[in-house]
């Protein structure tokens, strides 16, 4: 049983050690400026300039109205709307990691890192 515990510990340690490479973050620095999840495309473009690459990743269904507690306000509009999903890639050079920004509609929802730039 002890050998099983050690093997499980080693596997868990390896997974945790590799996880920072794909870790999602909630902010990104562009020079001296800072963007956060929740920011719009216009703000990101103004602070970080044009991305190196923009990829359309499909659509996702989202609530068409705010969820405000126990009552259903869906009769005010469509319950679900299709929102476009885009992945913006920023390349800051060969000595820094690529940054991937995921937008749903106009909202920045995820910031992650990829391999080194080129």
In tens digits, the chain (118 residues) has pLDDT values of 555 666 666 665 655 555 444 455 789 999 899 999 999 999 999 999 999 999 999 988 876 665 566 665 555 656 678 889 999 999 999 999 999 999 999 999 999 999 998 8
Q: For the chain, what are the domain ranges?
A: 26-116
Q: Which helix (H) or strand (E) holds 70?
A: none
Alpha-carbon gap, residue 14 to 10, rounded angstroms: 6
Q: Which is nearest to 85 in space by CA: 51, 62, 63, 67?
A: 62
Alpha-carbon gap, residue 35 to 50, rounded angstroms: 14
pTM over 0.75: no
């Amino acid at each position: 049983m002890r050998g099983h515990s050690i093997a499980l510990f080693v596997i868990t340690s390896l997974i945790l050690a590799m996880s920072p490479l794909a870790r999602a973050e909630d902010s990104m620095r562009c020079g001296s400026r800072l963007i956060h999840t929740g920011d719009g495309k216009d703000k990101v473009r103004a602070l970080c300039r044009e991305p190196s690459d923009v990829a359309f990743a499909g659509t996702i269904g989202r609530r068409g109205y705010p969820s405000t507690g126990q009552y259903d306000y869906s009769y005010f509009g469509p319950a679900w709307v299709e929102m476009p999903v885009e992945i913006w890639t920023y390349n800051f050079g060969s000595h820094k990691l690529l940054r991937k920004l995921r937008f749903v509609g106009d909202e920045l929802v995820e910031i992650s890192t990829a391999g080194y730039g080129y």
